[in-house]
Amino acid sequence: MPLLITPSIRQHESLFGYLTRVAEHNGYEDFTWILGLANIRARSNFTESDFAKLAIVTTTPTIKLFDSAHWLSKQGMKRYYFSLYSPKLCPECLKHNSYRHVSWDYSLITCCPDHGCLLVDTCPNCKTSISWKNCGITHCKTCEQSFTALNPKPCKPRMIAFTRQLISHIHIPTKQISYLAKTPPLSLSDIMKLVLFLGSHACFKKTHGTGYWLCSKLTNAEMHQLISVALNVLTCWPENFLALLNQIENTRQDTGLEKRLGSFYETWHKQFRKPQFEFLKEALASYAQNNWQAGFLSNKNKRLSENRLHSSKYMTLAETKKTLKLSYRKILELIDHGQLTAICSDAKSRTLRLITKVSIQGYLEGQKDIITAKEMRSILGIGERRANKLIKGGKIVPLPNRPLNRSRRYVFCRKAISRLAREIQLS
């Protein structure tokens, strides 16, 4: 059965705002009565048949009702991006139009771009947090304060610009966000996800994961502040992002990025791997390279850029072992003898050794020049006895024994032997 008075839903009106308006017109306390009349049990997870039932009671087309529930109707949107039960409002907007705008449902929309002011979520008179139960469309039911009489706080232009962008995204699903001019266009949910992620890690020392949980915990003013901090990170990219990483990096002497950046790294890996977030990965890789562990990215950090792995200046002990085909012991000896240069850092349980690629290359080059006694004899065309005699007589000088050649009595420099061979031929 339709209600007695059924005002029509306004363009861009919030569903709960509309239902509150319908309840007010018909003398009900709040919109839960309307849901009751329509025989709807759900609080926000409305099904298709729930919308159909609401349509009968309110005589508003199902599609219009559905369109006003953005947490269900907007693509990519999740319930947690909305502050459905702690509604916000713009006093100035309400002065002109007595309905609640759907954009106020979004947790990250904290100010009104038309009036340049912070949205209100607490009655300043009785200090009660505004809810659908304790307020009408334009007044507080606890103290009868009229919301239209309030003087909202002005906001900074940057926050207004950002809000304007979010609102334009609500109507045009994918657009460029001006703070990240060089990145691919992000969808509304991508922007919200990114801002929450950066803001929550910048504002809270102990943050777990994505920061979605903050949407239901923070007041509008606190969320406004969090967004402002996140925009700081995005404004001067990647410098401010690198500063944020420095701020959240754990001071523990661990060797893994995971441990050092904790939840931030894990969340990035799980939630921001789509191509549109490549800029995050790039900045994270550059951070790891420049600020952390002498720029080393191990195989474990393949999560970060592949090509950066190869441009790295260092190799681990394991990689060096593979490249030089030597045992760990030999490599450590080479490091001790200064034939390989390495940096060592003592981590919690082990020492991390990073060997410079330059020294590995130098070592390999040097190896090409070293020959065995047999090779030396074949170049000079002499037998073993003659060779030993020449060595004893100081005519042929072996190289000082290196750790690698210890199994051999003598090794020689190819260039020196070739020179000697030419001299013998000439004489």
Residues that bind Zn ion (CB under 5 A): 90, 92-93, 112, 114-115, 123, 125-126, 140, 142-143, 145
For residue 181, the tally of other CB atoms under 10 A from its CB is 8
DSSP 299-340: GGGGGS-HHHHHH-SEEEHHHHHHHHT--HHHHHHHHHTTSS
Q: What are phi and psi of 116, to 5 degrees?
A: 60, 30
How many Å apart are CA 92 and CA 171, to the nearest integer? 22
Provide the token pair at 71: 């947490």
How many Å apart are CA 98 and CA 146, to the nearest integer? 12
Q: How far is the CB of 92 from Zn ion (least distance, A)?
A: 4
Decide whether 112 or 420 has the Cβ nearer to Zn ion: 112
Q: How far is the CB of 90 from Zn ion (least distance, A)?
A: 3
Decide whether 131 or 145 has the Cβ nearer to Zn ion: 145
Q: How far is the CB of 199 from Zn ion (least distance, A)?
A: 23
Rg value, the chain, Cα = 35
Q: How far is the CB of 141 from Zn ion (least distance, A)?
A: 8
Provide the token pair at 95: 């002065």
How many Å apart are CA 23 and CA 26, to the nearest integer? 5
Strand partners, 346: 351
Q: How far is the CB of 219 from Zn ion (least distance, A)?
A: 15
DSSP 380-406: HT--HHHHHHHHHTTSS-PPPPPGGGT
Count how many Cα atoms sit within 13 Å of the Cα of residue 36 in the half-sphere of its side chain: 7
Terminal Cα distance for the chain, rounded: 121
Q: How far is the CB of 72 from Zn ion (least distance, A)?
A: 25
| Sequence-ordered list of residues with C-beta below 8 angstroms from that of 307, at least 6 positions apart, any chain | none
Strand partners, 200: none
Decide whether 109 or 280 has the Cβ nearer to Zn ion: 109
Decide whether 58 or 103 has the Cβ nearer to Zn ion: 103
Decide whether 143 or 344 has the Cβ nearer to Zn ion: 143
Decide whether 96 or 419 has the Cβ nearer to Zn ion: 96
Decide whether 111 or 324 has the Cβ nearer to Zn ion: 111
User: Is residue 355 helix, strand or coil?
Assistant: strand
Q: How far is the CB of 7 from Zn ion (least distance, A)?
A: 21
How many Å apart are CA 243 and CA 367, to the nearest integer? 44
Decide whether 111 or 244 has the Cβ nearer to Zn ion: 111
Q: DSSP assignment, residue 77?
A: -
Q: How far is the CB of 116 from Zn ion (least distance, A)?
A: 8
Q: How far is the CB of 135 from Zn ion (least distance, A)?
A: 8
Decide whether 149 or 236 has the Cβ nearer to Zn ion: 149
